[in-house]
Structure 1
Amino acid sequence: MKYKKIILAVVLFILLGISYYIVANSKYELSEKYRDFPVPISAQLTKENENNSVYEWSMSSDENGIPISYRLIIWVNGWEKVVREGTLTIYEKDEVQIHLSSDRDEIIIGR
């Protein structure tokens, strides 16, 4: 009886994790410009040049950075956090670096 409860708890935990990932993954798309780096679907592109793109995104914060769901999707897509200084985080994958800066209601993605 005790083992059934433990197995049930583990199965529920796994199902909740999978559900969270599916919901989080549906909120991001991979950017061709930035070598398949995830970009929030709800973010609105406000400025763009050759090296970076500025997005208006209400989930971003200068104090708290980006949401954990965004960090999870970045990690799942193979990007590794290399450096974090203030609001700037540098991610790397296959020797390509992407700079992600989070500010109040805005993110900047660049090379």
Structure 2
Amino acid sequence: MKYKKLFLAIVLFIFLGISYYFGATSKYELSEEFSDFPVPINAKLVQKNEYNSIYEWSKSSDVNGIPFSYSLIIRTNGWKRVVREGTLSIYEKSGVQINLSSQRDEIIIGNKK
């Protein structure tokens, strides 16, 4: 009986984890402009230049940074955070570096030059 409850708890935990991951995956798309770096689907592009793009996104914060689901999607797409200084994080994948800065209600994504 004890093992049955433990087994059910493990199965439930795995199911919830998989559901969370696929729910989070559907909220982000890979940007060709930034070497397939994930960008939130509901983020509104406000400004763009040759170096970066600024998106209005209500889930971003200068104090708390980006949501855990966004961090998870970035990591599962092969990006590794190499530097974090204040609101700026630099991610790297296959020799390509991307800057991600989280401000209050906006994120800035740019190529590391």
2:46 corresponds in structure 1 to: 46
2:18 corresponds in structure 1 to: 18
**How many residues end up aligned between the 2 structures?**
111
CA RMSD in angstroms comes to 0.4
Runs of 4 or more, structure 1, over 6 Å off, are none
Which amino acid in structure 2 is aligned with residue 93 of structure 1? Answer: K
**5+ unaligned residues in a row in structure 1: which ranges?**
none
State whether structure 2 residue 3 is matched by structure 1 residue 9: no
**5+ unaligned residues in a row in structure 2: which ranges?**
none
Identity %: 72
What whole-Å deviation, never above 9, does each CA across 1:8-67 have from its counterpart, x for those lacking one? Answer: 100000000000001100000000000100000000000001110000000000000000
Give the alignment of 1:1-111 within 5 angstroms: 1-111=1-111
What whole-Å deviation, never above 9, does each CA across 1:62-110 have from its counterpart, x for those lacking one? Answer: 0000000000000000000100000000000001000000000000000
- Secondary structure (helix, strand or coil) at the match of 2:75 reads helix
TM-score by length of 2: 0.97
TM-score by length of 1: 0.99
